[in-house]
Chains A and B, each alone.
Chain A
């Protein structure tokens, strides 16, 4: 089942300059009881986004009309903790298509790439600079080019080449699906099962 293709994205950003944002903050466990993938965006960052009485917390960035965009600019070590893919579904469902940080947790990174959400690692100095630029001017735009693997802050022309696994890059560009790929390897998998010599 091919997924949505992703090649070039130009967007304003939403800044979230906290370190170690774990997946429990992205989507608290009490919202994990659903049996489908849809609708998690409503509870993205739930306990920061809403007050205890259920009103919007005006201090939280998602409730600040100044900040809009498809790129979430997060702090260091984003997505740590629980393996819940619901965190990625929530971010994607809300409307983000890329997350930028200086450092991501491993499982979050895999889950993102498996759902067409692009995690981009940029140097810490550039991340801090970008956070400051967005705070000063929320209209600051960035451009992400997957083919060229470049991330550019448009007004300052700061540009870096980001890393992405070539296989995953192709999946994103062509909208390919991992499971289709694995299913096409059934013969090799069955062959492995027959010839397997590894101790068990």
Chain B
């Protein structure tokens, strides 16, 4: 038999039918929905007079458009409130389980899915959110879809999808102190650009990936979309199985041992071929920051902003427009540049390990007076864990307040907006113009780099705040 990649195995195992010269009809094992991209899909079902086909395979949360303060009160913004209420109505009407606002298991869809044990190796998973790629960390084919496709899944548990090409990204070598999974993925994106993996589904391999925790793997897979990839996945291994075993519940699993034995088969065959192969050496990676308005515009924290060379007119004017928006110039160094806001949270870096990392640097120090910090756990469970581990106390002692869970300032649909012209060091995933509020200037970074900025009020190298003992691998 022809050797297959892990991606091929999962994809081919889910094709209900291949349309000649067309897309595949792909069966979806698990569908997550949230309040922003689902209402129009439910409207579509209503117009057709049909019900959700397999309500037990869809799970819902409210995360994108909710406040992170006073969640027990009514949502003030009328449109946001209507959207969140509409989700509740739709879930009730169609028998879909909802982890809505104030539910003890509420949180960001890509944080709670794995926490609640719904995301399982070998699955096909979709959600009307591009960061669905996060779940690829468990050896799944997980990708973001539009609302028309949400409607397809609700109506038939399938979507029509052309099969992407396959790319393998291998990272070997030794990671430097202070370099986290966020830096690894930001480095890769800066090397191959924001469209560098468009048309591909990525498998991440190599000794560095194998050494990472599940949380760190989720951060890597999460940002696959930022290089244009349809998604990214990592073959499950002992780290994955250990994570699954410590979960309080695994709703779809009757016998975990036998499932683990099945999951062990989920890997690419040794001779499987990929359409494109890239290799990176971990020792080339340093703590990263972005300087422009897309995630491909990243550099090591101590480098200077590149000078646009060999670019055509269109590319070079786009580049300068982007730097102009940020208030930066080519050749400029950003270390020491004053900042105004720090945001830690989102589906990229809103998990317990991220808050531990942040705490490691702020412990025993004080927040800089010029910094406003938004500390937003990815879920209620993360929030509880922070309290149980004493992290909240560390944050409070350093002058920080902890918000309630939600997507928050990552896309700033709620009130957590960065004001115009202000600089935010953010652990989220996108530094697009206006992403964190009209005119906001986003500098993407790891939780360690965000912590260093929070206590100095400037873009600062996190390695200066670390000793040998707190060399975390995140």
**Does B433 belong to the interface (CB within 8 Å)?**
yes
Q: Which residues of B contact A167 (CB under 8 A)?
A: 19, 21-23, 160
Q: Count how many chain A residues have C-beta atoms less than 8 Å from C-beta atoms of the other chain.
A: 61
SS class, residues of chain B in contact with chain A: loop
* In the bound complex, CA of A192 to CA of B413 (Å): 40
Q: Are A81 and B130 in contact (CB under 8 A)?
A: yes
Tell me, in angstroms, the Cα distance from A106 to B201 when the chains sit together.
Answer: 11
Instruction: Give the shortest distance, in Å, between B326 (CB) and chain A (any CB).
Output: 14
Chain A residues whose CB sits within 8 angstroms of the CB of B420 once the complex forms: 52
* Alpha-carbon gap, A38 to B265, bound state (A): 47
Q: Are A165 and B439 in contact (CB under 8 A)?
A: no
Q: Is A159 part of the binding interface, using a Cβ–Cβ cutoff of 8 Å?
A: no
For A85, the chain B residues whose CB sits under 8 A away are 37, 40, 128, 146-148
B294 CB–A CB distance under 8 Å: yes
B43 within 8 A of A: yes
The answer to whether the Cβ of A61 comes within 8 Å of any Cβ in the partner chain is no
Q: Which residues of A lie under 8 Å from residue B317 when comparing CB positions?
A: 17-18
Q: Which residues of A contact B19 (CB under 8 A)?
A: 167
Partner of B16, one of A33, A115, A188: A188
A35 touches B83 (CB 8 A): yes
A81:B432 contact, CB within 8 angstroms: yes
User: Could you say which of A72-80, A91-99, A144-152 contacts chain B?
Assistant: A72-80
B-facing residues in A79-130 (Cβ within 8 Å): 80-86, 88, 103-107, 110-111, 114-115, 128
A19 within 8 A of partner (CB): yes
Chain B residues 409 to 438 lying within 8 A of chain A, measured CB to CB, are: 411-413, 420, 430, 432-435, 438
Residue of A nearest to B145 (CB): A83
Contact B29 A200 (CB under 8 A): yes
Q: Measured between alpha carbons, how far is A107 from B225 in the docked complex, in Å?
A: 10
Flag if B27 contacts A35 (CB, 8 Å): no
Beyond A106-B230, A198-B13, is A189–B130 a contact (Cβ under 8 Å)?
no
Give Cα distance in the complex from A131 to B79, angstroms.
Answer: 39
Q: Is A47 an interface residue (CB 8 A)?
A: yes
Pairs across A and B, CB under 8 Å, 18 listed:
A18-B317, A20-B194, A22-B294, A32-B65, A47-B434, A81-B226, A83-B128, A84-B36, A114-B149, A167-B19, A167-B21, A179-B44, A186-B156, A189-B16, A192-B16, A198-B122, A199-B262, A200-B123
Task: Name the 7 nearest CB pairs between A and B, nearest first.
Answer: A167-B22, A198-B13, A33-B79, A85-B146, A111-B146, A35-B39, A114-B148
List residues of chain B with CB under 8 Å of any chain A CB: 10, 13-14, 16-17, 19, 21-23, 25, 27, 29, 36-37, 39-40, 43-44, 47-48, 50, 53, 64-65, 77, 79-80, 82-83, 86, 120-123, 128-130, 144-149, 151-152, 155-162, 164, 194-195, 198-199, 225-226, 228, 230, 252, 259, 262-263, 265-266, 294, 296, 312-315, 317-318, 321, 411-413, 420, 430, 432-435, 438-439
